[in-house]
Amino acid sequence: MAELVPLADAVADLVRDGDTVALEGFTHLIPFAAGHEMLRQGRRGLTLVRMTPDLLYDQMIGFGAAERLVFSWGGNPGVGSLHRLRDAVEHGWPEPLDLEEHSHAGMAARYWAGASGLPFGVLRGYVGSDLTAHTRNVSTVTCPFTGEQLTAVRAFALDVAVVHAQQVDREGNVGLWGISGVQKEAVLCARRSLVTVEERVDQLDARTRVVLPSWVVDAVSVVPQGAHPSYAAGYSERDNGFYARWDAISRDRAPFVEWMRRHVLEAPDFGAHLRLLAAETAAVGSR
Amino acid sequence: MTDPPEHAPAATAEATAATADEVMTVVAARELRGRRTCFVGIGLPSIAASLARQVHEPSLVLIYESGPIGARPTRAPLSIGDGELADTALDVVGVPEVFSYWLQGGRIDVGFLGAAQICRYGNINTTVIGPYRQPMVRLPGAGGAPEIAASAREVIVVARHTTRTFVNRLDFVTSIGHHEGGDSRKALGLPGDGPTAVITNLGVLRPEAESRELVLTAIHPGVTAAVVRERTGWPLRIATSLTETEPPTELELDTLRRLSAGRGTGSAG
């Protein structure tokens, strides 16, 4: 049954060093606040899973919290590279990062299989690609009915899934709408799950398209703007300006470390980070 | 922001001739005439697909890997998960459904892809430059491309034409085009026909009937075949029926510039 708890308590309770964790979100509803809280609490040795690692995983990797990344597309959408991810892969800084990379269809099949309680997912994919030579957990299976050879991908078994959503109702049911990615599958294939939401409401909005029933979620924390600089449809717009600015913040190690110190380590919570960010943006704008 | 200046039309160029990038996008959009469903990658393909819907093929159904089906963007989205795509779509489905029902299920006429490297058989690298374990450049990775390249009935690739991109040998094969040429793609059992056009800022390459090797079939206004060959990393062959691209019409150019101008709020930050 989902308990409504402060984010710091939820992270302390549910996320452990060395866990396999997915903080999912496809451009939309990315759980930045929860990721920052993990860093503030000093989580280490994580295996990070996500289809589209963007700024949040760049921050976590650059901070040295991850030892492994399982993913299918890692970039700053519309802007360019993830410099901290690249530095870890190209130069082993601050720690070497082990990569397991898939295609989107393969990752989606792994989540789907995990949520379905099956040992593997099946698809027509990876054929002819060099990915198979470098990627664990991809194999082939022969269809017992037609003899066709298909690609098999191992089901995800996550320790923790973390997602952001628009709302939680009085009974602890979570509702989200807009681009929904693989959030539902991620929660359903994880042993423990944490959801941050924009707002607690009496009744879920009529626009709700995906419901995570209270009894599949361990903890819910109300964190308004908890997906910033990503967005929550109906609540906020994507902060494209910040995605562009991240390119300069993250390009070199020293400015990145300094930014993380001020915005994550020394910020008591995510709200403090957002206020600092707003103040910095205003200062730059008035110059 | 990361684009070299030649890609953004300067204020003074507004009423003047199209840039090479604009011609590329316009030609890519024309390629979508007569198609019903297009699976759209982000960046150049996304702008071209939006342009095609507004000028050539109003009923074109745009499907994005983030889940929007039948999106009708009025500005070029900055990212593939923009709210604009979801807000204007007929439906928004989860990612497993996009790839299983709509792509693998055979509902896509055209897949629209970009490339960091492409070879003479239209195979694509978006993974690494250099060796995989010790890359010189770590690229974003596969994303949806391998299965789009496999399952869309045909694939159109949009890429800027340089010897860095059009290479003799890929550092990594991320997504399959015509594999090793001839019937080799079919032998892999891939459902779709593979790349039918590669559209660049210099011209258009299409696979030759038997060998499936990409040959130059059209050059854009003001470009010579010699320049295209210089900027291609393999000895590019020229089709005997080489044509010159029709310059962008005023409507195409105006619409494109309107779409690009509204591109997100990326410049506001």
Model confidence over B153-188: pLDDT tens digits?
999 999 999 999 999 999 999 999 999 999 999 999
Looking at residue B75, its pLDDT comes to 81
Residue entry with tokens 């590329």: B24
Task: Answer whether residue A135 is part of any domain.
Answer: no
Q: Is residue A133 part of a domain?
A: no
B191–A124 C-beta distance less than 8 A? yes
Total domains, chain B: 1
Structural domain for B171, as ranges: 5-261
Give the strand pairing for B238-244 and B214-219. Answer: parallel
The Cα of A180 is separated from the nearest Cα of chain B by a number of Å equal to 6
| pLDDT for residue B124 | 97
CA A178 to chain B, closest CA, distance in angstroms equals 6
Closest CA to A249 of A241, A65, A64: A241
Give the neighbor-by-neighbor strand order of the sheet with A138-142.
Answer: A120-123, A149-154, A138-142
User: Is A131 domain-assigned?
Assistant: no
Whether B43 sits inside 8 A of A245 (CB atoms) is: no
pLDDT number for residue B81: 80
For residue A2, what pLDDT is reported?
A: 79
Q: Answer yes or no: is B267 within a domain.
A: no
Domain membership flag for residue A218: yes
Chain mean pLDDT for chain B: 90
Choose the closest CB to A79 out of B2, B96, B179. Answer: B2
Residues A28, A30, A32, CA angle at the centre, nearest 5°?
145
Flag whether pLDDT at B12 surpasses 90. no
Q: Answer yes or no: is B268 within a domain.
A: no
* Residue A234 belongs to some domain of the structure: yes
Find chain A residues with C-beta within 8 A of B96's C-beta: 108-109, 111-112, 182, 185
B80: chain A residues, CB-CB within 8 Å: 26-27, 77
Which CATH number does the domain housing residue B203 bear?
3.40.1080.10
Cα–Cα distance for residue pair B126/B166, rounded to 1 Å: 13
| Of A77, A89, A127, Cβ closest to residue B135 | A89
Provide block-wise average pLDDT over 10 residues at a time, chain A (287 residues). Answer: 92 98 97 98 98 97 98 92 95 95 97 98 94 94 96 98 98 97 98 98 97 98 98 96 96 98 98 96 74
Contacts of B65 in chain A (CB under 8 A): 104
Q: Is residue A117 part of a domain?
A: no
Domain with A168 in it:
3-102+157-283
Question: What pLDDT does residue A285 have?
Answer: 67
- Determine, yes or no, domain membership for B226: yes
Verify whether the Cβ–Cβ distance B127 to A185 is below 8 Å. Answer: no
When divided into structural domains, chain A yields a total of: 1
Q: Closest Cα of chain A to B268: distance in Å?
A: 6
Among A108, A131, A240, select the one facing B264 at the smallest CB separation: A240
**pLDDT score recorded for residue A287:** 53
The pLDDT of residue A286 is 60
CATH number at residue A75: 3.40.1080.10
Does the active-site annotation cover B208? no
pLDDT band at B262 (very low <50, low <70, confident <90, very high): low
A116, part of any domain? no
> Are A123 and B104 within 8 A, CB to CB?
yes
